[in-house]
A and B are shown apart, each in its own frame.
Chain A
Amino acid sequence: MGKDWAASVNRIFRTISGSKRVDKVPFLAFAGEQMICRVTGKTVKELYSSPKVYTNAIISTFEFLNTDSINVPSAYAGPTEALAFAEANNKLDAIKWFDYKPLMCKQGVICKTEEDIDKLEIPDHSKNNLWKNSLLTAKMINEKIKFPQVISLSIWSVVQELRGIDAYKDMRRNPDLLLKLCEKIYQSQMDIYENWLEIVGMPPNVFIAGYSFNRHMMSFQDSMRYEGQFIKRMMNKIKVPFMLHNCGTSPYFTEVVKEIDFIAVNGSHPLDIEYWIDFKKKHPKIAIIGANIDVSREMLWGSPSDVEKKVKENILNLAPGGRYICCPVCSLPWGVSIPNILAIPKAIEKYGNYPIKMN
């Protein structure tokens, strides 16, 4: 029997909205290009070459991993957006392709100088092949398994790709220049959204990759200035609930949810479960996707039983009352063992059926 995606759709979206009609804790995973290549044996360029090939590869990978979630890894404002900017500004030498992992952008090459920022052309995403195929793939997934695809947008992730380390110096020596870059990236994100609307349709949620909200990168005030204010503007235009992703090691989750109305937060740090218990107590209406399961720890170095312990700890502490989704953060790396990934849905089956049995 094939996977029951309808059940997964209900599980995920009902959990996020706080519905009590959820059978068990959902399992969300970020299977990026690396994992899809590993499972299907295809190269990244093969995946990207055809929405049909890409759709089938994504579905078979997520089904193999037994997740409740599914997404198109390249339909995200990270490397794909850097590629779009590189193409629009004739700077493709900034892009490096790999066979079995996503493309990379040499940070700081596209906007090396002030003039580069002044003259930076905003990409037309309808003309970028990778974006076009990624959006068509999202549409095909919607059609094939009826799983509404969530749009992922970001400001700071793209700033880092385009401006690199100079962006951090700009904060002190030329904030207006940095804001000018942020504004252009905002316009570009809205162009992605317009294309998404046209090709995929209205997304159920926006998933913000809010990398600026990290203490080791900048002050909270700066993160609001260079990313937060643009997210608020997105919210005024895109009238669906927003979720915040942050896979950094010192996130400002507590601070940011006071300023911006997110319905869910997604991250693994802090790794202390007590932080997440406290977060849930203080913000009962915000779903937690993740908590303290990090792909570079138990998932990578531990055994399936180590992973099971971690999942159990999370479920017993965070699932009662709902609004908890089990999720290792961030993207599943090449080297993580498949039994460790599969240990998550197994542990959910053991401990995560509602009502949660505390003993």
Chain B
Amino acid sequence: MTANESLEKLKQAIIQGDSQKAILLVKESNEMGIQVKEILNRAILKGAEEAGKLYEEGEYFLPDLLMTGDAINAATEILKSSFDLKSEIETKGTILIGTVEGDIHDLGKSLVVSLLKGQGFDVVDLGSDVPPEEFLRNAKEINPKLIGLSGLMTMSISKMIETVNLLKSENIQSRIIVGGGILSKESCEMIGADDFAKDGWEGIKKINKLI
């Protein structure tokens, strides 16, 4: 098998969300001496991009994207253990993310976390039901490029406002994106965030634009 064929197979495994196959193919690519950057850009990230395209076209649904996310994470974990990844590729930056206090929904957030990690971001996931003070403490500690606040319920909007107000009052300079199906341009303005996303995939695209 040539390097191109190996990368193509890995890309397909990512698109299909086949973690086991992706792990084997990363190992194989490694043995063939393919550069880490090539594996990441031509197979893993390209696979993520194509899965996202299938989602936008209505061919793929959330379960498929989540499986792709798992495959990306599995593949990059192997890459990390096989190579000194950080020396070869610079991180795109750190992102702090969490579902706001009083809300325990994390579907969209989990998808975002999984795909962002695969795209080379360092992601600090605070989980769900996160108080504003917890966002602030972590923001001060890690100085993220971007902070993502997630929430499913309408009542989460007031907690997003509270969190953003606290972050801004403490002079946190990170970009802020809010995510959730309840959000609109009006609510985003009211919250004081830089942008909003209605679902996980839109979140990925907007985060990449914001950073």
Q: Is residue B166 within 8 Å, beta carbon to beta carbon, of the partner chain?
A: no
In the bound complex, how far is the Cα of B120 from the Cα of A272, in angstroms?
Answer: 38
From B58, B154, B182, residue with most partner A Cβ within 10 Å: B154
Instruction: Give chain A's interface secondary structure class.
Output: loop
In the bound complex, how far is the Cα of B161 from the Cα of A175, in angstroms?
Answer: 39
In the bound complex, how far is the Cα of B187 from the Cα of A224, in angstroms?
Answer: 33
Residue of B nearest to A218 (CB): B61
Please count the residue pairs between chain A and chain B whose beta carbons lie under 8 angstroms apart in the complex: 85
In the bound complex, how far is the Cα of B155 from the Cα of A330, in angstroms?
Answer: 11
- Also in contact, A164 and B102, with CB within 8 A (given A218-B61, A334-B155, A335-B155): no
Q: A104-B102, A218-B62 are in contact. List 11 more A-B contacts (CB 8 A).
A: A101-B155, A106-B128, A165-B106, A168-B66, A172-B17, A215-B61, A249-B198, A296-B157, A296-B183, A334-B155, A335-B158
Q: Is residue A117 within 8 Å, beta carbon to beta carbon, of the partner chain?
A: no
B164-211 at interface with A (beta carbon < 8 Å): 181-184, 186-187, 190, 198-199
Q: Is residue B33 within 8 Å, beta carbon to beta carbon, of the partner chain?
A: no
In angstroms, how far is the closest chain B Cβ from the Cβ of A156?
12
Write out, one digit per residue, whether chain A residues 170-204 have a CB within 8 A of any chain B CB (1) or not (0): 01110000000000000000000000000000000
Q: Which residues of B contact A258 (CB under 8 A)?
A: none
In angstroms, how far is the closest chain B Cβ from the Cβ of A295?
5
Residue of B nearest to A249 (CB): B181
A333 pairs with B155, CB closer than 8 A: yes
B155 pairs with A248, CB closer than 8 A: no
Count of residues in B whose CB is under 8 Å from the partner chain? 32
Q: Which residues of A contact B199 (CB under 8 A)?
A: 216
Q: Is residue B104 within 8 Å, beta carbon to beta carbon, of the partner chain?
A: yes
A218 pairs with B63, CB closer than 8 A: yes
Residue of A nearest to B70 (CB): A169
B155 pairs with A216, CB closer than 8 A: no
Write out, one digit per residue, whether chain A residues 91-133 have a CB within 8 A of any chain B CB (1) or not (0): 0000010100100111100000000000000000000000000
Q: Is residue B110 within 8 Å, beta carbon to beta carbon, of the partner chain?
A: yes
Q: Which residues of A contact B186 (CB under 8 A)?
A: 297, 301
- Interface residues, chain A, with chain B CB atoms under 8 Å away: 34, 96, 98, 101, 104-107, 160, 164-165, 168-169, 171-173, 215-219, 222, 248-249, 295-297, 300-301, 330-331, 333-336
A300 pairs with B187, CB closer than 8 A: yes
Q: Which residues of B contact A300 (CB under 8 A)?
A: 154, 157, 187
Q: Which residues of B contact A105 (CB under 8 A)?
A: 104
Q: Which residues of B contact A168 (CB under 8 A)?
A: 62-63, 66, 107
Q: Which residues of A contact B187 (CB under 8 A)?
A: 296, 300-301
In angstroms, how far is the closest chain A Cβ from the Cβ of B205?
15
In angstroms, how far is the closest chain B Cβ from the Cβ of A329?
10
Q: Which residues of B contact A173 (CB under 8 A)?
A: 67
B107 pairs with A165, CB closer than 8 A: yes
Q: Is residue B122 within 8 Å, beta carbon to beta carbon, of the partner chain?
A: no
A216 pairs with B67, CB closer than 8 A: no
Q: Which residues of A contact B102 (CB under 8 A)?
A: 98, 101, 104
In angstroms, how far is the closest chain A Cβ from the Cβ of B79?
22
B129 pairs with A96, CB closer than 8 A: yes
Q: Which residues of A contact B190 (CB under 8 A)?
A: 301
From A248, A300, A336, residue with most partner B Cβ within 10 Å: A300
In angstroms, how far is the closest chain A Cβ from the Cβ of B4?
28
Closest 8 CB pairs between A and B? A333-B154, A296-B182, A171-B63, A249-B181, A168-B63, A296-B154, A333-B155, A301-B186
A106 pairs with B61, CB closer than 8 A: no
In the bound complex, how far is the Cα of B104 from the Cα of A164, in angstroms?
Answer: 10
In the bound complex, how far is the Cα of B128 from the Cα of A105, in angstroms?
Answer: 11
Q: Which residues of B contact A98 (CB under 8 A)?
A: 102
Residue of A nearest to B182 (CB): A296
- Also in contact, A96 and B184, with CB within 8 A (given A165-B110, A168-B62): no
Q: Is residue B8 within 8 Å, beta carbon to beta carbon, of the partner chain?
A: no
User: Which single member of A165, A248, A334 contacts B66 (CB below 8 Å)?
Assistant: A165
B58-90 at interface with A (beta carbon < 8 Å): 58, 61-64, 66-67, 70
Q: Is residue B27 within 8 Å, beta carbon to beta carbon, of the partner chain?
A: no
Ordered by A's residue number, 28 sampled pairs between the chains whose C-beta atoms are within 8 Å are A34-B155, A101-B155, A104-B102, A106-B128, A107-B128, A160-B107, A164-B107, A165-B110, A168-B63, A168-B66, A168-B107, A169-B63, A169-B66, A172-B63, A216-B62, A217-B107, A218-B61, A222-B61, A248-B181, A297-B184, A297-B186, A300-B154, A300-B187, A330-B154, A331-B154, A333-B153, A334-B155, A335-B157
